[in-house]
Structure 1
Amino acid sequence: MTDLETRPAPPPRVGAVRRAAPALAGYAAVRAVGLVVLALWSAARGTSAHTLLTARWDALWYTRVAELGYGYEVRLPNGDVHADLAFFPLLPWLERAGAALTPLSYADAGLLVTTLASLAAAWGIFAVAEHVYDRRVGVCAVLVWAALPVGVVQSMAYSESLFTALAAWALYAVLTGRLVTAGLLAAPAGLTRPVGAAVVAAVWAAALTSYVRDRRTRGGALSIRPAVGMLLAPLGAAGYVLWVGRRTGQGLLGYLDVQAGWRNGFDGGYAFARFIAGKFTSFPAALAGVGLIAGVVLVLWLYGVGVRQRQPLPLLVYTGVVTALALCASSYFGSKPRLLLPAFPLLLPLARALARIRLPRSAAILGTATAVSALYGAFWLNGSGPP
């Protein structure tokens, strides 16, 4: 399938869930192993796995917004201002709705939202991979995504799973030629994380490609649906950014000022490169520097493989924007693996390779990856954790 082609969505059928069932069951099993290891590790250290998943780091900010609304900020001794306006509103809105409709606390409602969203994300990843390749690649893609070293974030009250679910299904809608649906999904994705711009870019790329194709094949007769999809896609992100600008009195630059208070911005990777270079000042730190370089090279290599394998243009655009925003942010270097979680198309070359080998060998590889992911996730959350 070339990057200019889309195939129609398969007809509705009762077996849709059945086709995805192995992927969803495998995903649940991988994440269950991770949670069990986290619980045992935390119990041995006298910490609470539940607290680590629902009431630490960014999860606290989301819960506070859900309970009290926006307006909280922390002023640090160095003059930085950490304002809750940096956190997009869809997850807090869902936490508030969950707490209102159930006996759950805001934090536990966030965990419920994340659990459901992670399953929706797994299904969306399966749908994309199956559509582009086949069912076995779809299953492998989901299992690889579940077994990533930072896969435990998928089970936290964070927004990565919710965003990935919306992004994956928006991309599936793009690939099946339903650009209005894609725009409707891109809009809430833009209310979830700043990287919602990647979904917008994918929808726009598909819409422009559709216009070019229609001009060639229909003699100038153009459909209005691509234009509607293009208009819908940025509404969520644009609406929130404009609202922040009005609230702060800074106009279009308001959200950038909020991010600057967190010392976060886009510098083309300069600060990250300096951070890596700084690791080579001593031998133990140099090993971490080598690991970081290897990780960046791996990400770029996987993207290059996707290009060579002629992944559809919307996938390449989406992955490229997610990767650029993750690697070229000027702060929170330890969070970059977490920020790359939504870039699931990077994993499609690995999924294809796993799908081509014999089942016992692929099962052994995925089993090892699951164990490593579970151990690393438990170690990570009981240590520095995600910033």
Structure 2
Amino acid sequence: MGGLLPGSFPGTRRPGSSRTPASALHTRVLRALRRAAPALLAYAGVRLVGLLVLALWAHRQHHGVWPTLATQWDAHWYLGIAGHGYSRELGTAYDANNLAFFPLYPVLVKAVAAVTPGTRAMTGLVIAVGASFGAAWGIFSVGHRLHGRRVGVLLTVLWAALPVGLVQWMGYTESLFTAFAAWSLYAVLTRRWLWAASLAALAGLTRPTGIAVAAAVTVTALLALRRRFSARVLAAACLAPAGWLAYVGWVGLRLGRWDGYFAVQRLWHNEWDGGAETLRRMREYLAYDSTPELFLVMVTGTLLASVALLALAAWDRQPGPLLIFAGVLLLIVLGSGGVYFPRARFLLPAFPLLLPLARHLSRASARYVTLTLTAAVLGSAYCGAYMMLVWPSAP
């Protein structure tokens, strides 16, 4: 089955063929894009509904939509890095050291803004929105390869309609990271090892959870080496974690201590505690709080649903790379002792967890699918606007 990523790049034309390698690649990209078009159009529709609800709600509250999406909270940190670079000292202040934020997205913002009109904030938002379509395309490609076009489209729509789906069109790194993760996993499934490893390395430069993509590629490559040795597969196993290791190592050198990056994370309260803080918060919101905050209930429900969906994915015998990626990502999010409220956002890239739902919907009646997806889209739109305009700490 063809895909976007070419399996080989022949240096010469076949005898009797007038097509160059570049034109052949162009043809394959256009064919893949036509195949993915329904998923991409559906994705755009879901996100536009969310944007419309946010705009109407923001107008009633006399809020501007543009600053909310492009310049606030984590976007502010990334724009600061793009404008002024990273800290040179560890310091002692909590939640104040920008070395906790990985570099690829702010570097892209700075580079693109330097050669295009507009502000860095506008550039960051454009990159995030563009990356979200790349992510949607990759998610569709994974679903299509495993279970057909219908599942691919449904998987894309479900990802778009997650409760925190609005983050996909904010000046955050989730969309860029998901794009790298989805295409890296697709490359593993199609045995394009160096593509998979390169994209995993880029994911590792984008978010701390890039180690989950690296684990999926490296473990799968090492298992393949047990069956047959290949220098290409071995290179992929070594390259996949290079981005994550490079940034962690650079932070250590910059701060003059081997555990520099982990010291920064401690100042952000992100120490590993094996899930103790997560369980404490779940108990607090579900058992003891008589009037729990709606947003925190949504976050808790997302975490519990993610555990159940991982079990379903394993029961369905989902391919190993997808299980490893989703499992490691979920383990990181649940096992961290850091702040609780953004954890649903941290799980946004874990699209393989939605595959069991997409497969179920693919076998359901048209009426059931329509009602389910309509409820998901409207719920996502409401949760996104609530998250941005009502919840005091934002995403």
The more displaced of 108-117 and 353-362 is 353-362
Distance in 1 (CA, whole Å) between partners of 2:277 and 2:33 is 45
Q: Does 1:305 align with 2:321?
A: no
Partner of 1:174: 188
1:263 paired residue among 259, 269, 285:
269
1:236 paired residue among 229, 239, 243:
243
Distance in 2 (CA, whole Å) between partners of 1:81 and 1:333 is 14
Q: Does 1:380 align with 2:378?
A: no
Deviation at 1:292, TM superposition (A): 5.9
Mapped contact 1:276–1:289 kept (Cα < 8 A) = no
Mapped contact 1:72–1:83 kept (Cα < 8 A) = no
Gaps of 5+ in 1: 1-7, 215-221
Change (3 A) 1:273 1:108: same
| SS of structure 2 residue aligned to 1:284 | coil
Which AA in structure 2 matches 1:265? E
Deviation at 1:213, TM superposition (A): 2.6
Which AA in structure 1 matches 2:275? G
Partner of 1:352: 359
Q: How does 1:1-387 map to 2 (within 5 A)?
A: 13=28, 14-71=30-87, 79-80=93-94, 82-214=96-228, 222-251=229-258, 253-279=259-285, 280-285=287-292, 294-383=301-390, 384-387=392-395
Change (3 A) 1:100 1:286: closer
* 1:59-101 deviation line (CA, Å, top 9, x unaligned): 000001011111289978xx52520000000010111112111
The more displaced of 271-280 and 17-26 is 271-280
| SS of structure 1 residue aligned to 2:291 | helix
Mapped contact 1:74–1:83 kept (Cα < 8 A) = yes
Change (3 A) 1:291 1:57: closer
Change (3 A) 1:74 1:180: closer
Which AA in structure 1 matches 2:246? G
Mapped contact 2:218–2:238 kept (Cα < 8 A) = no
* 1:126-174 deviation line (CA, Å, top 9, x unaligned): 0111111111000000000000110000010000000000000000000
Change (3 A) 1:203 1:33: same
Deviation at 1:113, TM superposition (A): 0.4
Deviation at 1:115, TM superposition (A): 0.7
* 1:296-346 deviation line (CA, Å, top 9, x unaligned): 332111111111111111110000011111111111100110000010000
| SS of structure 2 residue aligned to 1:311 | coil
Deviation at 1:287, TM superposition (A): 8.7
Gaps of 5+ in 2: 1-5, 9-23
Mapped contact 1:267–1:330 kept (Cα < 8 A) = yes
| SS of structure 1 residue aligned to 2:96 | strand
Change (3 A) 1:282 1:136: closer
Which AA in structure 2 matches 1:66? A
The more displaced of 130-139 and 64-73 is 64-73
Change (3 A) 1:385 1:28: farther
Deviation at 1:290, TM superposition (A): 7.2
Bigger RCO of structures 1 and 2 (CA < 8 A, at least 6 apart)? 1
Deviation at 1:204, TM superposition (A): 1.0
Deviation at 1:277, TM superposition (A): 2.5
Deviation at 1:278, TM superposition (A): 2.8
Mapped contact 2:222–2:237 kept (Cα < 8 A) = no
The more displaced of 41-50 and 204-213 is 204-213
Deviation at 1:372, TM superposition (A): 1.2
Q: TM-score, normalised by structure 1?
A: 0.91
Partner of 1:219: none
Which AA in structure 2 matches 1:122? A
Distance in 2 (CA, whole Å) between partners of 1:292 and 1:379 is 13
Distance in 1 (CA, whole Å) between partners of 2:207 and 2:299 is 24
Mapped contact 1:114–1:157 kept (Cα < 8 A) = yes
The more displaced of 31-40 and 360-369 is 360-369
Distance in 2 (CA, whole Å) between partners of 1:97 and 1:379 is 33
Change (3 A) 1:283 1:125: same
Change (3 A) 1:382 1:132: same
- RMSD between superposed Cα atoms in Å: 2.2
| SS of structure 2 residue aligned to 1:164 | helix
The more displaced of 182-191 and 205-214 is 205-214
Mapped contact 1:183–1:229 kept (Cα < 8 A) = yes
Matched pairs, number: 370
Distance in 2 (CA, whole Å) between partners of 1:144 and 1:346 is 10
Mapped contact 2:88–2:254 kept (Cα < 8 A) = no
Distance in 2 (CA, whole Å) between partners of 1:292 and 1:192 is 23
